[in-house]
Amino acid sequence: MGIGPWEILVILFVIILIFGGKKLPELARGLGLGLKEFKKATKDIKDEVESAAKEVENSTEDSK
């Protein structure tokens, strides 16, 4: 049970009514920047976890 095309159109129409056409590009830009920051933070955390796992793996191999 997902969102159909009519529901998406109604949601977009309501957003345009609430914010107006002039504010939409600004909102979209802000959303894009937010997603970019989120992806960057996710990648940084993933890299940090991987490096920590490699460090643990190397230290366990050294102690064998």
CB 26 within 8 A of CB 34: no
Question: What is the tens place of the pLDDT at every residue in 29-61?
Answer: 998 999 999 999 999 999 999 999 999 988 887
- Rounded distance between C-alpha atoms, residue 27 and residue 35, angstroms: 12
pLDDT of 64 higher than 70? no
Per the structure, the complete domain to which residue 35 belongs is given by: 5-62
Provide the whole-model pTM. Answer: 0.58
The answer to whether residue 26 scores a pLDDT higher than 90 is: no
Helices 24-62 and 5-19 pack at an angle, to 10 degrees, of 110
pLDDT of amino acid 36: 96
- Per residue in 2-16, pLDDT tens? 889 899 899 988 888
* Number of domains, the chain: 1
